[in-house]
Amino acid sequence: MNRDKTYCPIGFFDSGYGGLTVLKEVMQTLPQYDYVYLGDNARAPYGSRSFESVYEYTLECVQKLFNMGCELIILACNTASAKALRTIQQKDLPGISPSKRVLGVIRPTTEVVKNYTKTNHIGLLATQGTVTSQSYPIELHKFAPEIQVFQQACPMWVPLIESGAANTPGADYFLETDIRQLLDQSSQIDTVILGCTHYPLLLSKIKKHLPPHVSIVMQGEIIAKSLQDYLQRHPEIENKCSKNGEVRFYTTDSAEQFSKQAAQFFGKEVKAEHIAV
């Protein structure tokens, strides 16, 4: 672990590989900063876990990232953003260090989604945990009460991706079924949010099952833009972030396995280290 006092990377957390789809976009927009990625692969997926477990695991990983020197952490995981973010921000952070920040991915997504829809009927594809939390309808209601959100949990999608089975015909069955169930909720849905950072890996298959007029909202670019704005608005945080353009990857499971699979999410070679939480 780096003990250099000037090392202050921006931390990215996900239950597994999904957050890499966000980090990839962030690093294209903001290449100057240092980044550290932590995937809790040993305990993934989080999607069907209880509120208590997701909160406990997320907090442990957040603490780990703070110990590595992070002042700012992005929960690049909708499930953790839905189930753990608010409690960490309100209950834990003041005791850990009031100057540190933890941000999620749901709010920035809901802030821009009204730019995509004309019918105000939006579909959400996400994990069971994110759907049950009602975080998307609650957040969206604050900015755009005229928008109706139709949600569909896709409990098999993350396990299919994490097990490397995303491109099998079996995956098509689950995608088709879940997408049909979403579209059956309203014929006016013209925008679908991929509300799980793993799902961009399924994009070509998702497109096959959605009518061509439906816009697909992915979070990578949205989070990159929103982080850029955040850093501009918060010089007290931005000044602390170290700027060597370096990235490190950690996983709570096998580093070898992570390095092998991560490239398809990140778009280039990844060399990970194991870390215990």
Tell me the catalytic residues: 77, 196
Residue with smaller CB distance to ligand DGL, 9 or 45: 45
Nearer to ligand DGL, 39 or 69 (CB): 39
Please, which residues have CB within 8 angstroms of residue 256's CB and are 6 or more apart in sequence? none
Task: Tell the smallest beta-carbon distance from residue 7 to ligand DGL (Å).
Answer: 26
Q: Do the Cβ atoms of 35 and 20 come closer than 8 Å?
A: no
- In the complex, the smallest distance separating the C-beta of residue 141 from ligand DGL, rounded to whole angstroms, is 20
Q: Is 105 exposed, middle or buried (0-12, 13-18, 19+ CB in 10 A)?
A: buried
Q: Which amino acid is at 239?
A: N
Minimum separation from the CB atom of position 68 to ligand DGL (A)? 21
Measured from the CB atom, is 133 or 148 closer to ligand DGL?
133
Nearest to 10 by CA among 31, 33, 26: 33
Contact 124, 92 (CB under 8 A): no
Beta bridge partners of 152: 125
45 cis-preceded (ω within 30 degrees of 0): yes
Residues that bind ligand DGL (CB under 6 A): 14-16, 18, 44-47, 77-79, 127, 130, 158, 196-198
> Closest CB to ligand DGL among 24 and 240?
24
> Number of C-alpha atoms within 13 angstroms, CB side, residue 264?
19
- By beta-carbon proximity to ligand DGL, the closer residue of 130 and 242 is 130
Contacts of 215 (CB under 8 A, 6+ apart): 116, 117, 190, 191, 192
In the complex, minimum distance from the CB of residue 122 to ligand DGL, in angstroms, rounded to a whole number = 17
Min CB(211)–ligand DGL separation in Å: 24
Helix (H, G, I), strand (E, B) or coil at 171: helix
